[in-house]
Amino acid sequence: MDEEIPVDVGLIYEGERIRKSNMYVDLAGPKSKGAELLLVVPKDEVEDGKVEVIGPDVDEMEEGGRYPLGIFVKVAGDKLEEDLEGVFERKLHYFCNYIQGFMHLNSRDIIWCRISKDSAKKGLKLYHVGKALIKLYKTEFDVIEKIQITFYTDDKAVDEHIARAREVYEKRDARASALKDEDVDVFYSCLLCQSFAPTHVCAITPSRSGGCGAVTWFEGRAAVKVDPNGPITEIPKGEVIDPIKGEFSGINEFVKEKSNGAIERVYLHSIFDYPHTSCGCFEAIAFYIPEVDGIGIVHRDFQGVTPFGIPFSTMAGQVGGGVQSQGFLGISIAYLRSPKFLQADGGWNRIVWMPSQLKERVREAIPEEMYEKIATELEASDLESLKDWLKQKQHPVLERLDEEAEEEAAEEETREQEAQPVATLPELTLPAQGMPIAGAPTEFTITFKNAKIYAEKVIIRRKG
Ligand code: SF4
Ligand code: ZN
């Protein structure tokens, strides 16, 4: 144990979950608010080793309480560049979880932290969490020369921090979306989440950031430079197998190797057939709604239920773990802004439902003509009301549904026509004249018993 920190810190605590019964306080999370942000700044703006807590620290919090939380890390170093921010910021998740009795979930402005009763009793405060994080960052990354951490628990200060963090996230995501998959020869992969989803390999391309939203292509490139043996590595692009679905031989080969053969093919831009695997820390889920042949999106912050009647958490439980789930895909919010967003499935024309808060958040990414046609929880809380809304708004999926219905009806008719026997007879005996069969006597009879006779054409002629 470190003299400065009253609990243990180490990799063995990574998988530790703090259940509600053992919770001292909840910080940020779906019923409160928070954000984490790491910035690379000039050296003179960092007081190395400093930890500050603006608002009450754990010892001033009520047991069983819930508080907002902002985490703000500033780092400086000669070799650091802005592109590393997302990758270092993502490390907060892993490093926080090394601290005994401190749990960190998710990323960016959807973080959720918890402190256990046992650790609070030992005296663990946010101040110590900060000290532990500083040590972990400095040990793992030589390039970080100076680091300072501020925690916010004061309501107003957290609000300001969230606003600042969101501005930075937007800037990072916008930068990434200016570049496309076809503009580069190399992609990146992140294996950080294999610690809990062993077959999950994030393929990070200009048009698709990692599921957690924290690692864009630019950040992947920067990470490889400073930490070549780290969890983020290059993936050679290889051949373009399908530019619309986003299938590349380089990604397929890499994913197959790193998933130990469990995953053989990946489509970057589709939720069907070979969708990208989902780990568990994705910011949102895209899900297929067969009843309307459309796709819904739900994000982690949404407290209500999807038109399926289940909330995000239930769906996330079914989707995650590093498997390919047909019709379900864990995605980052940034991917909603990608010009290639689910392009193989129809892109925004296929989106039928999303929470109002998310719709507003990515408003500028949604084509204008589609914005009014996409239902939210306010217009459609179940499949029936969703169908009504889509009809009322003349949503493009209706055409698909009509086309499909027509095709099905036509097929059905053909099948029926094909399948209709022209005669069902208990017994029929025919003289087989005119059927030349080699070696057979010239005149014989064929008897059908209980036969159904299918024919393309039946000609009935009056005799004589
Ligand atoms: Fe890395 Fe993907 Fe996990 Fe994000 S979701 S930490 S990019 S593996
Ligand atoms: Zn993950």
Q: Report how far ligand 1's centroid is from the alpha carbon of 246 (Å).
A: 19
Kindly identify the ligand whose nearest atom is closest to the C-alpha of 190. Answer: 1
Question: Do 137 and 199 fall into the same domain?
Answer: no
Structural domain ending residue among the three candidates 145, 176, 207: 176
Rounded to the nearest angstrom, the distance between the alpha carbon of 246 and the centre of ligand 2 is: 21
Residues 191 and 312 in one domain: yes
Show the CA angle centred on residue 91, arms to residues 90 and 95, nearest 5°: 140
Please tell me whether residues 37 and 152 are part of one structural domain.
Answer: yes
The mean per-residue pLDDT over the stretch 186-190 comes to: 97
Beta-carbon contacts of residue 328 (< 8 Å; ≥ 6 apart): 271, 275, 278, 285, 286, 287, 288, 315, 318, 319
Distance CA 348, CA 295 (A): 9
- Same domain? For 189 and 332 the reply is yes
Q: Tell me the C-alpha distance between 202 and 140, whole Å.
A: 22
Most informative mutation of 90, 172, 254, 332 for ligand 1 (most atoms within 8 A of CB): 90
Same domain assignment for residues 273 and 352: yes
pLDDT confidence tier of residue 1, bands split at 50, 70 and 90:
very low
126 lies in the same domain as 226: no
Q: Give the closest residue to 51 by CA, choosing from 136, 159, 126, 145.
A: 126
Stretch 153-180: mean pLDDT, rounded? 92
Q: Ligand 1 atom 3: the closest Cα is on which residue?
A: 193
The ligand 1 atom at the shortest distance from the C-alpha of residue 330 is 5
Q: Determine contact, residues 438/405, Cβ cutoff 8 Å.
A: no
DSSP3 helix / strand / coil % (the chain, rounded to 5): 35, 25, 40
297 shares its domain with 167: no
Is residue 159 located within the same domain as residue 188? no
463 lies in some domain? no
Residue 444 pLDDT: 46
For position 120, which CATH number holds?
Answer: 3.30.1650.10
Find the residues whose C-beta lies inside 6 A of ligand 1: 90, 190, 192-193, 202, 210-212, 214-215, 279, 281
Residues 235 and 281 in one domain: yes
Q: Are 177 and 337 in contact (CB under 8 A)?
A: yes
- 290 vs 4: which has the higher pLDDT: 290
Residue 221 resides in a domain: yes
Q: What is the predicted pLDDT for the residue at 16?
A: 87
Closest listed residue to residue 79, CA positions, set 139, 134, 143 = 143
The mean pLDDT value for 112-132 works out to 97
User: For strand 202-204 and strand 294-299, is the pairing parallel, antiparallel, or unpaired?
Assistant: unpaired
Nearest CA to ligand 1 atom 6: 192
What residue type is 250 in one-letter code?
A: G
Phi, psi of 245 (to 5 degrees): -70, -25
Which pLDDT does position 418 carry in this prediction?
Answer: 52
Tell me which of 153, 176, 199 is where a domain ends: 176
State residue 174's pLDDT score. Answer: 82
Measured in angstroms, how far is the CA atom of residue 212 from the centroid of ligand 1? 6
Which ligand gives the minimal distance to the CA of 89? 1
Atom of ligand 1 nearest to the CA of 191: 8
> Is there a single domain that holds both residue 159 and residue 217?
no
Question: Can you tell me the distance from the alpha carbon of 449 to that of 277, in angstroms, rounded to the nearest whole number?
Answer: 56
Choose which residue among 281, 319, 332 to substitute to test ligand 1 binding: the one with the highest number of ligand atoms within 8 A of its C-beta. Answer: 281
Q: Which of 275, 313, 397, 301 is nearest to 354 (CA)?
A: 301
Euclidean distance between CA atoms 296 and 175, whole angstroms = 26
Residues 247 and 170 grouped into a single domain:
no
Q: Indicate the top mutation candidate among 94, 107, 212 to test ligand 1's pocket, ranked by most ligand atoms within 8 A of CB.
A: 212
Nearest Cα residue to atom 4 of ligand 1: 212
Does 408 map to a domain?
A: no
Q: Is residue 461 part of a domain?
A: no
Rounded to two decimals, what is the model's pTM?
A: 0.77
Residue 20 CB neighbour total at 10 angstroms? 8
In a domain, 418, yes or no: no
Which of 87, 205, 208, 215 to probe ligand 1 with, by most ligand atoms within 8 A of CB?
215
For 74-115, write each residue's pLDDT tens digit. 999 999 999 999 999 999 999 999 999 999 999 999 999 999
Centroid of ligand 2 to alpha carbon of 320 (angstroms):
9
Rounded to an integer, what distance in angstroms lies between the CA atom of residue 382 and that of residue 379? 9
Ligand 1 atom closest to the CA of 200, numbered from 1: 8
Å from CA of 195 to ligand 2 middle? 9
Domains identified in the chain, total number = 3
For 375, the enclosing helix (H) or strand (E) is: none
Ligand nearest to the CA of 319: 2
Other C-beta atoms within 10 Å of 249: how many? 14
DSSP 453: E
**Ramachandran region of residue 321, left (φ > 0), alpha (ψ -120 to 50) or beta?**
left
In a domain, 215, yes or no: yes
Tell me how far apart the alpha carbons of residues 415 and 59 are, in angstroms, rounded to a whole number: 74
Residue 209 within a domain = yes
Query: How far away, in angstroms, is 106 Cα from ligand 1 center?
Result: 10
| Tens digits of residue pLDDT in 383-435 | 999 999 999 999 999 987 777 777 777 766 666 555 455 455 455 454 444 44
- Six-digit token string for 94: 């892993």
pLDDT single digits (tens) 398-408: 987 777 777 77
123 and 194: one domain? no
Nearest ligand, CA of residue 192?
1
> What is the Cα–Cα distance from 263 to 251, expressed in whole angstroms?
11
Task: Out of 124, 144, 176, pick the residue that ends a domain.
Answer: 176
pLDDT of residue 422: 46
CB atoms within 10 A of CB 428: 13
Q: Share the mean pLDDT of the chain.
A: 89
3-class state of residue 354 by DSSP: coil
How far apart (Å, rounded) are the C-alpha atoms in residues 248 and 242? 7
Range of the domain at 68: 11-176
User: Interhelix angle for 85-97 vs 217-226, to 10°?
Assistant: 70
Residue 1 lies in a domain: no
